[in-house]
């Protein structure tokens, strides 16, 4: 019997169902049969979140664990296991079963022994269905391990200092920069026992804020050293940390060529004819190019004198004082030259021009003389002066001398003078006739 008037659709029928259908056809029963089986469950799980990211610091407490929730479609019960391919990531629980609920596992990180850097892995959840079907779902995991940060610590740069120079040459300097790498303020101290390191600036101890820097500048001196190589070490300590800074000095036997540097390069004096000498003035000699500067000084004026005629300069600064003598000099302008000579210096000789301006005196003098008194009881004379006739100031007693010089009289002024005699009893004679003198 055929089934031409019927349509038979068999879709994923089980063997038992197919056998029953064949029996119906054999009995002559016409039927339209449509069998639709259920769709299979998806093998992969759904995740929330779909990936994990952790951060931590080397040598510190591990970051907090993070949960992952997963679920599936359908209502069949499946068993699951979860595994990690790396030792630094672990999962709890490691297994279970899931039907229609949502399950959760916790992922933990272990930082022990891990160096700073970036790490990645995938944790795998494996499910097994009742018919033996296997599904795998990966959870990407990333981990960033940052370098450890100490509360105290510092670095020093450069790690050593190397100086060089010539015998008898100028001092040289070097600097070390100290960086505070910790999280708190740090006090560091510079110390050394190197005889040719003569100074450290701004001092042997500095306090540095977190993340900031400080600079130690030290000076090497070749004074008293022969040609050769010298070595030693400085120490920088702070926060329980000590760093040694090797230092070296190489001196060559080639002596640098000296030169003359004068400060100031000229001198100027002023004074008054017949007055007191002006204060002295100094100039300095320096040797900026190294080596030994052996110098002599000279001048070409009788009224000029120098405190030093010769000397030797290496790295120090020498001072020479110049003085002038106004004695016998009339009003006017005088010029002279100080000459500094140094054998072997690149710029010898050097000169210091000197000028002296002598102004005319604004004061003069008057000499008063008189005839001696012949009385036997004469004790002396009194001289009176004033700038108006007949009006005098306090007298000047002279004893039995018969002359007197009035000094520091102002020019352009007329002075009036008179003399009296006094005896041993203190009696004073009348004034002698008045005389006058005009000062021009």
Same domain assignment for residues 9 and 64: no
Q: How confident is the model at residue 35 (pLDDT cuts 50, 70, 90)?
A: very low
Helix (H, G, I), strand (E, B) or coil at 181: coil
Q: Are the beta carbons of 129 and 39 closer than 8 angstroms?
A: no
Same domain assignment for residues 354 and 369: no
Same domain assignment for residues 94 and 79: yes
pLDDT at 43 over 90: no
d(CA 422, CA 381): 6
Same domain assignment for residues 82 and 61: yes
pLDDT, tens digit, for every residue of 380-417? 999 999 999 999 999 998 888 999 988 888 877 899 99
Instruction: Provide Rg for the chain, Cα atoms.
Output: 57
pLDDT, tens digit, for every residue of 219-266? 999 888 988 999 999 999 998 899 999 999 999 876 678 899 999 999
Out of 335, 359, 383, a domain closes at: 359
Same domain assignment for residues 140 and 87: yes
Maximum pairwise Cα distance, the chain: 200
Residues 6+ apart with CB under 8 A from 327: none
Residue with the two structure tokens 């005009």: 438
Residues 6+ apart with CB under 8 A from 27: none
**Residue 361 token pair:** 């005196």
Per DSSP, the chain holds a count of helices (H) and strands (E) of 1, 35
Same domain assignment for residues 125 and 62: yes
Out of 202, 221, 252, a domain closes at: 252
**Residue 94 token pair:** 């490691």
| Portion of the chain with pLDDT greater than 70, in percent | 89
pLDDT of residue 165: 87
Same domain assignment for residues 92 and 166: no
pLDDT at 344 over 90: no
pLDDT of residue 139: 96
Q: How confident is the model at residue 147 (pLDDT cuts 50, 70, 90)?
A: confident
Same domain assignment for residues 109 and 27: no
Report the domain count for the chain. 5
Q: Are the beta carbons of 161 and 231 closer than 8 angstroms?
A: no
Q: What CATH code is carried by the domain that includes residue 337?
A: 2.60.40.10
pLDDT of residue 439: 80
d(CA 357, CA 266): 14
Indicate the pTM of the whole model: 0.34
Same domain assignment for residues 379 and 428: yes
Burial class (CB in 10 A: 0-12, 13-18, 19+), 22: exposed
| Portion of the chain with pLDDT greater than 90, in percent | 64
pLDDT of residue 22: 52
pLDDT of residue 175: 94
Distance of CA 19 to the CA centre of its chain: 99
Same domain assignment for residues 19 and 33: yes
Domain that holds residue 343: 261-359
Nearest to 106 by CA among 74, 144, 135, 63: 63
Same domain assignment for residues 309 and 401: no
Out of 323, 344, 359, a domain closes at: 359
């Amino acid at each position: 019997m055929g089934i031409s008037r019927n349509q038979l659709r068999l879709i994923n029928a089980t063997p038992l169902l197919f056998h029953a259908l064949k029996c119906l056809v054999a009995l002559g029963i016409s039927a339209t049969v449509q069998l639709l089986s259920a769709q299979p469950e998806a093998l992969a799980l759904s995740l929330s979140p779909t990936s994990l990211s952790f951060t931590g610091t080397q040598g510190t407490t591990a970051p907090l664990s993070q949960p992952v929730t997963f679920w599936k479609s359908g209502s069949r019960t499946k068993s699951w296991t979860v595994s990690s391919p790396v030792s630094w990531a672990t999962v709890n629980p490691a297994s279970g079963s899931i039907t229609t609920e949502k399950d959760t596992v916790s992922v933990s990180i272990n930082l022990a022994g891990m160096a700073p850097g970036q790490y990645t892995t995938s944790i795998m959840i494996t499910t097994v269905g009742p018919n033996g079907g296997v599904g795998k779902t990966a959870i990407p995991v990333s981990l960033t391990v940052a370098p450890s940060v100490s509360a105290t610590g510092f670095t020093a740069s450069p790690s050593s200092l190397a100086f060089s120079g010539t015998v008898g040459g100028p001092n040289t300097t070097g600097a070390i920069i100290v960086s505070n790498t910790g999280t708190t303020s740090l006090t560091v101290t510079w110390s050394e026992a190197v005889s040719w390191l003569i100074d450290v600036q701004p001092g042997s101890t500095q306090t540095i804020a977190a993340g900031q820097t400080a600079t130690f500048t030290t000076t090497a001196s070749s004074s008293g050293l022969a040609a050769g190589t010298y070595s030693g070490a400085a120490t920088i300590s702070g926060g329980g940390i000590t760093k040694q800074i090797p230092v070296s000095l190489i001196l060559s036997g080639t002596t640098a060529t000296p030169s003359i540097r004068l400060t100031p390069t000229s001198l100027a004096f002023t004074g008054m004819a017949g007055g007191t000498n002006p204060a002295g003035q100094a100039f300095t000699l320096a040797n900026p190019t190294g080596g030994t500067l052996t110098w002599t000084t000279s001048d070409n004026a009788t009224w000029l004198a120098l405190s030093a005629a010769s000397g030797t300069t290496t790295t120090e600064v020498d001072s020479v004082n110049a003085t002038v003598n106004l004695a016998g000099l009339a009003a006017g302008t005088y010029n002279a030259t100080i000459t500094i000579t140094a054998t072997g210096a690149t710029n010898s000789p050097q000169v210091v021009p000197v000028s002296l301006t002598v102004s005319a005196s604004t004061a003069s003098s008057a000499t008063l003389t008189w005839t001696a008194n012949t009385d036997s009881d004469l004790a002396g004379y009194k001289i009176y002066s004033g700038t108006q006739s007949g009006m005098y100031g306090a007298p000047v007693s002279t004893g039995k001398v018969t002359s007197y010089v009035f000094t520091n009289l102002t020019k352009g002024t007329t002075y009036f003078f008179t003399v009296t005699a006094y005896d041993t009893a203190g009696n004073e004679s009348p004034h002698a006739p008045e005389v006058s003198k005009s000062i021009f």
